[in-house]
Structure 1
Amino acid sequence: MPILMKPRSVPLLMAAALIAGACAAVPSGPSVVALPGSQKTLDQFLGDDHNCRQFAQGRIGGASSQGASNAAASSPAAGAGNVSDSGYGAQDQYDAAYIQCMYASGHRVPVYGQMLAAPPVTPPANYKPNSPPPAPPGAAH
């Protein structure tokens, strides 16, 4: 026998689902890809990655960032206020701190921004095409 719900129960159930879904989960790691710097070994990269994950976790109020590298501690992110006040979600805050730390450690990180198209190339003033332009429609041949 199917269970019937009262009509007013549906909006309450939907509201409860929205409230439960609004609770932010603590990020388990970065959602961006960082690549080793050209002068870095894989072991250096892995060590810096570990330190930067700790640093990012500390920036969002998680584990302590005491293990972060000195390069990360001297980064602009370290001198900034608590990033949780910036209005970003926890994952965005984590990613921003991780990217700043990895960049400060000498690694390659994603860069966001708009791609600008080059302006259209105009021919020189003395340009003359090899063939005459087409005749306008309706003109006699």
Structure 2
Amino acid sequence: MKIPLCLLLGGSLVVSGCVTVPDGPSRMALPGSTKTFDQFRADDASCRQYGLEQSGASAKQAGNDSMVKSAAVGTAVGAVLGAAIGGHGATAFGAGTGLLVGTAAGADAAQASSYTVQQRYDNAYLQCMYAKGHQVPVAASEANQRRVVQTYSPPQPAYYPPPPPPPGYY
């Protein structure tokens, strides 16, 4: 039974469509109390660029790169295994199966890769916005944690009692 190549490619595109990543920060920043909305917009644009520079790539690009690599490796491995089984038809079937399995595995790898890049982007973006004087909301569980502040106190000199009087002193 031959599976048309267009059916295999269509199936791989359906699987790869499961990975979606936002184009910007996934965390919210609010204008600082002393900032105008125009200042906020300018700082937002600047911090988006900073987040992109710090993360190294967009989350979508990282996910797509991971997906393409996994699909290519799956296709190559499938073709090699198909050729090892024997016959021209087995090679094509192996390549198609490898493409499908590689793309499915790539979807998971792409999601993990996208998540990591998005987290780096969000962290850089929020640090930038906070440094420029804007408000960065935090989860209530983080805000309510009791912070222990350790203050520095110099070490106290050790106390040594005076030596006992020599024998026969009394």
Question: Into which bin does the TM-score normalised by the smaller protein fall?
Answer: 0.3 to 0.5
Q: What TM-score do the two structures reach when normalised by structure 2?
A: 0.38
Give the structure-1-normalised TM-score: 0.45
Higher relative contact order (CA 8 A, sep 6+): 2
Structure with greater Cα Rg: 2
